[in-house]
Amino acid sequence: SQQGEEDPQALSIQEGENATMNCSYKTSINNLQWYRQNSGRGLVHLILIRSNEREKHSGRLRVTLDTSKKSSSLLITASRAADTASYFCATAQIYNQGGKLIFGQGTELSVKP
Amino acid sequence: NAGVMQNPRHLVRRRGQEARLRCSPMKGHSHVYWYRQLPEEGLKFMVYLQKENIIDESGMPKERFSAEFPKEGPSILRIQQVVRGDSAAYFCASSRYNRGLHDSPLHFGNGTRLTVT
């Protein structure tokens, strides 16, 4: 079964506020990745955090990973209307001949100007 | 550099027809993934291919669906005898290295939206 459950399913905030999205997963992972999807488009990679890392920053993005709780969070600070999109976490399952990403259901973020 | 190219962007098929979805990975990428997305849902893994090999097809329905990635040309996802439940967005993604997911993301195309009438 797919793993990676995002919470909340939908989030609506005002421009300038922070947005926090959470992701839980079930099995052991090599890394966890966050992606963004604008309506009608493909996914765009945002940030990758390895299983031995606890926190990572990229611009206005901050990702945490707690492998003991099998959870991750994505924080977008000082949100903008252009951040409106769906956000997905994905866990990397790697095996001898390669690997695959397993995606969660996503959080739909709406940032109102 | 061109990204992952998928065509067509939109495909309409009647029940019972065949659908062929094409994906050209990024230049230099030899690993291709296909995912399916139903409305307001996440992406479901279907199949992982390397050139001329299917590595993992654990997400592919047992019947009517097949995928290939030939030595030359794009990867093809083929759905035979389509049914209404096949209506979805199908995304292709590519990566460069055998163990690229350790350190590298997948690069996605903009998808093919299949509508079965």
Q: What is the pLDDT of residues A85-97, one digit of tens each?
A: 999 999 988 777 7
Q: Which residue of A has its CA nearest to B34?
A: A100
Cβ of B102 and A92 within 8 Å? yes
pLDDT at B75 over 50: yes
Q: So what's the pLDDT on residue A3?
A: 58
Flag whether residue B31 sits within 8 Å of chain A, measured between CB atoms: yes
> What is the percentage of chain B residues whose pLDDT exceeds 90?
77
B108/A42 CB distance under 8 A: yes
CB contacts, 8 Å: A102 with chain B: 45
| Mean per-residue pLDDT, B7-23 | 98
B115 vs B107: CA distance, rounded Å: 24
Q: Which residues of B touch A105 (CB under 8 A)?
A: 41-42
- Checking DSSP bridges between strand A61-66 and strand A55-58, what pairing results, if any? antiparallel
pLDDT for A8-30, tens place per residue?
999 999 999 999 999 999 988 88
How far B56 CA sits from the closest chain A CA (Å)? 9
Average pLDDT over residues A43-57: 95
DSSP secondary-structure letter at B4?
A: -
Q: What pLDDT, on a 0 to 100 scale, did the predictor assign at position A2?
A: 42
Average per-residue pLDDT in chain B? 92
B103: part of which helix (H) or strand (E)? none
State residue B101 phi and psi, 5-degree precision: -65, -15
CB pairs under 8 A between A and B: 79
Q: Does B30 touch chain A (CB under 8 A)?
A: no
Q: Is B112 exposed, middle or buried (0-12, 13-18, 19+ CB in 10 A)?
A: buried
pLDDT higher than 70, residue B101? no
